[in-house]
Structure 1
Amino acid sequence: MVSSPHEAMHRIFEEYPALFASVAEVLGVPFGTLVSVTALPTDLTETRPLERRLDTLLRFETEEEGEFLLAVEAQGKRDPAKPASWAYYLSYLFNKYGQHPVLLVVCQDRATAEWASQPVHFGPPQWASLILRPLVAGPHNMPVITQETEARKDPVLATLAAITHADNPDVGAILKAVSSALGTLPEKLSIPLSELVTQGLGKRPVREQWRNLMVVDTSFYKSWIVEEIRDESREEGREQDRASSILELLQARGIEVPKEARERITTCHDLDVLKTWFQRAITAESTAEVLGQDAPDEEPSSEEDRH
């Protein structure tokens, strides 16, 4: 699973569509009693070679108002081109399905959320032919849930709230409440929700705190989070063993290892590079020959989040 806050912010609605009722209540916009939901294709590409794709698209049916479409977009930053795309999505959906669409934008940044909340008028100042008014869920209006009892009332909403408040100074208390609440739920619900929180935190430092909570506070031992921690520990152990073998081999052959070279060997996290260095150490006459001029380029840089 790609660790991406963008994916978590919209996929939670795809996995748990009933969450929209809770979010709509928080936002103060009633949509009636939901009785059914259908996931729809997100591809809005036209016949010409121009691809347009929503993040998540659902069809809801209510007792009072009948059916409507929900388009969920995760937005990581301000984008002046987005309002025009959103307006296109809504008009396209209405034309394709003949049902009224609602746009929900989910953000983790307050400034982005406030920007997305502003109505956008399409048309000259004298007369706006179209007005875009997205619903926006973000740190400016999602509840800050720091008590387990509150998180247990609606764990899916608590999960989304934790994702949107990933940069909140109290995120530690928020994650503690969510992890404690998830620990009381069946694994078929607790595990996917815990994965969504992990995904939503992205590469923030607090992600490690969340992973530790999963191990200490809950019983998600079958969850991919715990397996990932175990895999990383095994990987680190292999790296350390390989690095030690290189240093021991060089010492046995009487080859001096300068401090900088030793640090470079012990901090390398690429097993393929370490394997190459070990093979060179068997016949090399110096540490510089072991490391080689091409070694720095062999260690891959970390891949950043796409969104």
Structure 2
Amino acid sequence: MPTKLHELPLEMVRNRPELVPELLRTVFNVDVPEESPATLTSESYADTNPAELRCDATVLLGEPDAPTLGVVVESQLRVKEAKSYSWPAYLASLRLRRKCPVLLLVICPDQATARGCAVPIDMGHPGWVLKPLTLSPEGVPPVTDEATARRLPELAVLSAVAHQEGPRAETVLNSLAIALGALPEDTRQLYHEHVAPQLSEVARKLLEESMRKTGLPTLEDYANKYKAEGEAVGLAKGEAIGQAKGEATGEVKGEAKALLLMLGARGVSVSDGVRERIRACKDLDQLERWILRAASVESVEELFD
């Protein structure tokens, strides 16, 4: 089952395909014209075998009907030998269908994974070697200007993780706040929840200060909002179907959401399994105890201890 860490980079590409040519230009020095439009296209390739080839995302540059370049984008959390066979197939299928040059861009969570995925794939034919272009946060250029942050908010998100420390940290985090402000609320919250656990405590505080200065809600604000909404829904349902039952139903949902946001605001990493465990909990007293613990724990293990 895909995890949030796997899906978020792909969500960014799907939300803003032009992120891909920007990364190719700035990180890998690929000559991609800036005026070329970027279009998200099908991620499935028909094969002569009944099994279907499905990459994570595909972006076409230029006109969709006559592209100048096709890019297969993969999100890879760890090195897998099987990818040395499927990646060339993705590229060959895309090249055959679109009749254009193709590239492979692999987004990784850290340098070690990026190095492992960058190992050249020898196809056996003389001179035919595929060298994947791999990217980890450390390779993303710092976003320090407002125009770029507004134009490519996803690049600012990746940049903040990579450059949260050092002389440009404050400028990079201010750019992230500007970038988040340029997004719809649901996307803003999604990206904010993704980036917060990857920031140091100092960086999170700088980001929260920047967001408050620009009038944007922080994760703590969202936590308080959902807690209040849960209580309100509970009371409303209580009037209709019995206060005790209605209040419990609404409050449980609000407390669970508030707990997850509080953990995110404090930078505590939450796996998909833990997220489901919290959402599945129907014991209001237990959720309230977890919320109190969430103010001081450093890991979810401590939360459940």
Same fold (TM over 0.5): yes
Deviations 1:242-267 (A, max 9, x none): 7xxxxxxxxxxxxxxxxxxxxxxxxx
* Residue in 1 that maps onto 2:133: 135
RMSD (Å) for aligned C-alpha atoms: 4.3
Q: 2:51 is paired with a residue of what secondary structure?
A: coil
Task: Work out whether residues 74 and 106 of structure 2, in 8 Å CA contact, stay in contact via their aligned partners in 1.
Answer: yes
Q: Greater relative contact order (Cα 8 A, min sep 6): structure 1 or 2?
A: 1
Could you report, residue by residue, the CA deviation over 1:163-221 in whole angstroms, capped at 9, with x for unpaired residues?
Answer: 376477639757732343236x5455xx4663453354386576994895686244345
Indicate how the Cα distance of structure 1 residues 229 and 110 shifts in structure 2: closer, same or farther if over 3 A, else same: farther
8 Å contact kept, 1:54–1:73: yes
SS in structure 1 of the partner of residue 36 of structure 2? strand
Aligned residue number for residue 9 of structure 1: 9
Change (3 A) 1:178 1:228: farther
Q: Distance in 2 between matches of 1:270 and 1:8?
A: 23
Cα pair distance change 1:215/1:226, threshold 3 Å: farther
Matched, 1:107 2:108: yes
Relative to its length, the structure with more helix (as a share) is 2
| 2:140 match: secondary structure | coil
CA distance 1:195–1:132, change in 2 (3 Å): farther
Structure 1: tracts of 5 or more residues without a match: 243-267, 276-301, 303-307
TM-score, with normalisation over the residues of structure 1?
A: 0.60
Residue in 2 aligned with 1:94? 95
Pair 1:178 & 2:175 matched? yes
Q: Residues 1-307 of structure 1 correspond to what in structure 2 (within 5 A)?
A: 4-26=4-26, 27-46=28-47, 48-61=49-62, 67-123=68-124, 127-128=125-126, 130-145=128-143, 150-155=144-149, 157=152, 159-160=154-155, 162-163=157-158, 166=161, 170=165, 173=170, 176-182=173-179, 186-188=182-184, 191=185, 194-195=188-189, 197-198=191-192, 200-201=194-195, 204=198, 209=204, 212=208, 216-220=212-216, 227=222, 230-232=225-227, 272-273=282-283
| TM-aligned CA deviation for residue 68 of structure 1 | 1.5
TM-score of the pair, normalised by structure 2: 0.60
1:73 aligned counterpart, secondary structure = strand
Aligned 8 A contact 2:161 2:199 in 1: no
Aligned residues: 236
Give the gaps of 5 or more residues in structure 2: 235-246, 249-277, 286-299, 301-305
Contact 2:43 2:54 in 1 (8 A): yes
Task: Describe the SS at the equivalent of 1:38.
Answer: strand
The CA distance in 1 between the partners of 2:186 and 2:121, in whole Å, is 36
Q: Is the 8 A contact 2:111 2:138 kept in 1?
A: yes
How far does residue 109 in structure 1 lie from its aligned partner after superposition? 0.4
Based on CA coordinates, which of the two structures has the bigger radius of gyration? 1
In 1, the alpha carbon distance for the partners of 2:175 and 2:146 equals: 8
The answer to which of 68-77 and 39-48 deviates more is 39-48
CA separation in 2, counterparts of 1:53 and 1:225?
A: 38
Hey, what does 2:297 align to over in structure 1?
none
1:178 maps to a residue whose letter is S
> Can you list the C-alpha shifts for 1:244-301, whole angstroms capped at 9, x where unaligned?
xxxxxxxxxxxxxxxxxxxxxxxx99663459xxxxxxxxxxxxxxxxxxxxxxxxxx
* Alpha-carbon displacement from aligned partner over 1:151-172 (angstroms, at most 9, x marks no partner): 4231155633533764776397
Work out the CA distance in 1 between the residues paired with 2:21 and 2:92: 23
Question: Aligned equivalents of 1:100 and 1:173: distance in 2?
Answer: 40
Alpha-carbon shift at residue 90 of structure 1 (Å): 0.3
Percent identity of paired positions between Structure 1 and Structure 2: 18
Residue 91 of structure 1 deviates from its aligned partner by 0.7
Contact map agreement 2:67 2:100 (CA 8 A) in 1? no
